[in-house]
Amino acid sequence: MESSRPASAEDIPRVVELAELMRAELGAMRGGPLWVEREAWPEPLADAYDALLARDDALLLVGSIDDAVIAFAAVVVEQLRSGARLGVITDLFVEPEAREVGVGEVLVDALVEHSRAAGCIGIDATALPGHRATKNFFETHGFTARALAMHKRLGAEPT
C-alpha cells in the first residue's frame, strides 16, 4: 500500500540515495545541467537534507510501498513581498520502477495539504523542458503553467 510520512533523521541516507538518482535522471535532460547547478540542493546532500529537515518553513516527506521507502518529496514555504505565502516543491522523485502506482500522488497531495495548512496562496513546481511525464503528472493534479523560464546560452554551461 502506498503511503507518505514526514522524513526523520534516520531517513536521510535513503533520501540522499534517491536525490542522487533524481540528479542523474534530470541532469541528463535538456535544462538539467543548469537545474543541478541552480535549483537542486547543494552538495553534500546529507547536510542539505538535514538542514531542510530542521526548517520550520519546510516539509520533507518519504513515500513508501509496504514500508519500503521508494520516493521522497519536499516543499518550502516562501514569503512573498506582499506578505502572502507560496509553497514551492523543491523535490519530488519516485524510483522509476515504482512510478504510476500512486506514491507520487500521495506525496503531492501531502505537499499541497501542507501548503494549504500553512496559509499558502498556491504551490509551484518545476518541470524541465521536454519532461512530458512530469508536466502531465502535475497537470493531472490541477497545476497549470504560470511562467516559462527562457534561457540563452552564452558559453559553456555545466555538464
Q: What is the pLDDT of residue 151?
A: 86
152 domain-assigned: no
157 domain-assigned: no
150 domain-assigned: no
Average pLDDT of span 87-91: 98
Q: For a pLDDT cut of 70, what percent of the chain falls above it?
A: 99
User: For 47-67, how does the pLDDT look when each residue is reduced to its tens digit (9 = 90+)?
Assistant: 999 999 999 999 999 999 999
148 domain-assigned: no
Q: Which of the four pLDDT bands, split at 50, 70 and 90, describes residue 93?
A: very high
Closest to 74 measured CA to CA, from 29, 42, 115: 115
Long-range contacts, 65-69 (Cβ 8 Å, 24+): 65/1, 65/2, 65/3, 65/98, 65/101, 65/103, 66/1, 69/11, 69/14, 69/18
147 domain-assigned: no
Taking all residues of the chain, what is their mean pLDDT, rounded to a whole number?
95
pTM (2 decimals)?
0.94
Q: Indicate which CATH number applies to the domain containing 87.
A: 3.40.630.30
User: For 99-110, how does the pLDDT look when each residue is reduced to its tens digit (9 = 90+)?
Assistant: 989 999 999 999
154 domain-assigned: no
146 domain-assigned: no
Range of the domain at 74: 2-140
Residue with cell 546529507: 46
Could you tell me what percentage of the chain is helix, strand and coil, using 3-state DSSP and rounding each to the nearest 5?
Answer: 40, 25, 35
Average pLDDT of span 68-89: 98
User: For 108-159, how does the pLDDT look when each residue is reduced to its tens digit (9 = 90+)?
Assistant: 999 999 999 999 999 999 999 989 999 999 999 999 999 988 888 898 777 6
Domain count, the chain: 1
23 domain-assigned: yes
Q: What is the pLDDT of residue 16?
A: 98
Q: What is the pLDDT of residue 107?
A: 98
